[in-house]
Amino acid sequence: MSKISLKHSGGNVVSLNSPTNAPGAADVAFKLPNTDGSAGQFMKTDGSGNLSFDTISAPSSDFVKLSNVNSTTNVTSIDFQSLDITTYKAFKLVFAGIPATDSQEVRFQFMSGSNVISSSYYAWALIGVSGSSAHYEEMALNDSTARIHNGAGNASLEGWRFVMDIVMQTTNDYAGANNYACWAGNRVDPSGNYRLENGTLYYEYDTDTDGFKLVTSSGDFDKYSYTLYGVKR
């Protein structure tokens, strides 16, 4: 076994040794790149002995950030239209917002294209606890929207904050009436009159959907921010 040795001016040696076992039927030769690579790159071979530098690719993920919005523009609704339900099986929404007027609920509806699904086939239920330690349960059947959170104030540091998972029915799914969502969050109130709430909803009628929207009970969103993620099939 032979080796190539490089001796440092300080006297230490760095060596490159030949393989312990003899190469196969042919000699093995490696051709170095003509130029240096960038910081953090690695050296690879093309299988024929030609070496080159390359960059390590970021690992792929089935959990993908689709959009991120931070807005101070007053809007009547926040729409998520024509989502890619072929690529994504489910969606996760991380949301925070303040209503333009006091004591506003935030409500949910599914969409198909630009059309809002507003027929009275929504069923929803939530449980919560208030800052006064009171426990409560609320629900509705045959509603035209689904309530996400109770009335929130429009002052600074008030509003709603929640995380929601949404699954929309497609013709490729086995389960019927599978327009479904669940959430957890709170109505924010710095005075201590907050509410912590968990809930679930579904649209009872067999309808393919590809989007959803958020509205308030009787007003606008003043400020809001959200991040929407997709979960690949």
Quick one: pLDDT at residue 178?
67
Same domain, residue pair 17 and 120: no
| 10, 32, 57 - which closes a domain | 57
Distance between CA 166 and CA 110 in Å, rounded?
10
Task: Evaluate if residue 232 carries a pLDDT over 90.
Answer: yes
Q: Mind listing the pLDDT tens digit for each residue in 21-40?
A: 877 767 788 898 999 899 98
Structure tokens at 105: 């609920």
pLDDT (mean) for 143-170: 89
- Which range has the worst mean pLDDT, 63-77, 103-117, 178-192? 178-192
Task: Evaluate if residue 12 carries a pLDDT over 70.
Answer: yes
Q: What is the DSSP annotation of the chain?
A: --EEEEE-TTS-EEEEEPPSSPPSSS----B--SS---TT-EEEE-SSSBEEEEPPPPPP-SEEEEEEEEE-S-BSEEEE-S--TTTEEEEEEEEEEEESSSSEEEEEEEEETTEE--SS-EEEEEEEEETT--EEEEEEEEESSEEEEEEE--STT-EEEEEEEEE---TT-SSSS-EEEEEEEEEE-TTS--EEEEEEEEE-S-----EEEEEESSS-EEEEEEEEEEEE-
Please indicate whether residue 173 or residue 135 has the higher confidence score (pLDDT): 135
For the chain, what is the domain count?
Answer: 2
Same domain, residue pair 88 and 171: yes
Q: What percent of the chain has pLDDT over 70?
A: 96
Q: Mind listing the pLDDT tens digit for each residue in 42-74?
A: 999 998 889 999 998 877 899 999 999 999 999
Q: What's the whole-number average pLDDT of the chain?
A: 89
Same domain, residue pair 134 and 173: yes
172: confidence class by pLDDT, cuts 50, 70, 90: low
Domain span holding position 26: 1-57
| 18, 35, 57 - which closes a domain | 57
Same domain, residue pair 25 and 101: no
Task: Evaluate if residue 177 carries a pLDDT over 90.
Answer: no
pLDDT (mean) for 70-94: 95
Task: Evaluate if residue 175 carries a pLDDT over 80.
Answer: no
Alpha-carbon torsion, ordered 204, 207, 210, 211, to 10 deg: -40
pTM to 2 decimals?
0.75
Same domain, residue pair 53 and 74: no
pLDDT (mean) for 179-196: 86
Task: Evaluate if residue 17 carries a pLDDT over 90.
Answer: no
Same domain, residue pair 71 and 150: yes
Quick one: pLDDT at residue 90?
93
Q: Which residue has the tokens 């689904």?
A: 146
Distance between CA 50 and CA 77 in Å, rounded?
58
Same domain, residue pair 85 and 154: yes
Same domain, residue pair 157 and 227: yes
Distance between CA 88 and CA 233 in Å, rounded?
5
Same domain, residue pair 41 and 140: no
Please indicate whether residue 113 or residue 150 has the higher confidence score (pLDDT): 113
Please indicate whether residue 142 or residue 150 has the higher confidence score (pLDDT): 142
- Which range has the worst mean pLDDT, 70-74, 142-146, 190-194? 190-194
